[in-house]
């Protein structure tokens, strides 16, 4: 399962952040996933409890936000939102476009629980 290994490296990353801030545990993790990243948000949600079990992130909530798919047109220069199956310019309709964003997975925010209080990182 592809998403489980992605989830495990995500949890590793989150744990590193938590440890470097001396946190007791992780409250929530916000993730942004692009439609062309090849990552299925639902499968990530399912894999997360398994990947985070026994780590500082074990009790945390995974919040997934969908990133927009943005293309830049090589003809008119416009940056517009596109559909995964139709990467054409939203202004002039040309298909000579380059992907600006939409194929990435970004860790947006990690909410940590320290002994004192909650801290946003």
CB of 87 to Zn ion, least distance (A): 12
Q: How many residues bind Zn ion (CB under 5 A)?
A: 8
By CB under 5 A, the residues from 79 to 118 that bind Zn ion are 89, 91-92, 94
Q: Which two three-digit tokens encode residue 7?
A: 């989830």
CA distance 8 to 12: 6
CA distance 99 to 16: 31
CB of 93 to Zn ion, least distance (A): 7
Q: Nearest Cα to 110, choosing from 42, 38, 11, 2?
A: 11
Among 1, 19, 58, 76, binds Zn ion (CB under 5 A): 76
CA distance 62 to 93: 37
- Which of residues 38 and 68 has its CB atom nearest to Zn ion in the complex? 68
Q: Nearest Cα to 55, choosing from 30, 22, 24?
A: 24
Span interacting with Zn ion, options 41-49, 58-66, 75-83, 103-111, rule CB under 5 A: 75-83
Binding site for Zn ion (CB under 5 A): 73, 75-76, 78, 89, 91-92, 94
């Amino acid at each position: 399962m592809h998403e489980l290994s992605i989830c495990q490296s995500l949890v590793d990353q989150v744990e590193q952040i938590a440890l470097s801030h001396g946190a007791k545990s992780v409250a929530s993790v916000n993730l942004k996933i692009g439609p062309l990243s090849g990552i299925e948000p639902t499968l990530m949600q399912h894999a997360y409890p398994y990947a985070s079990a026994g780590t500082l992130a074990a009790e945390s909530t995974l919040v997934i936000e969908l990133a927009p798919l943005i293309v830049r047109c090589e003809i008119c220069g416009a940056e517009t939102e596109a559909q995964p199956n139709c990467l054409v310019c939203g202004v002039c309709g040309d298909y000579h476009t380059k992907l600006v964003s939409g194929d990435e997975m970004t860790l947006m925010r990690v909410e940590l629980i320290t002994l004192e209080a909650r801290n946003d990182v």
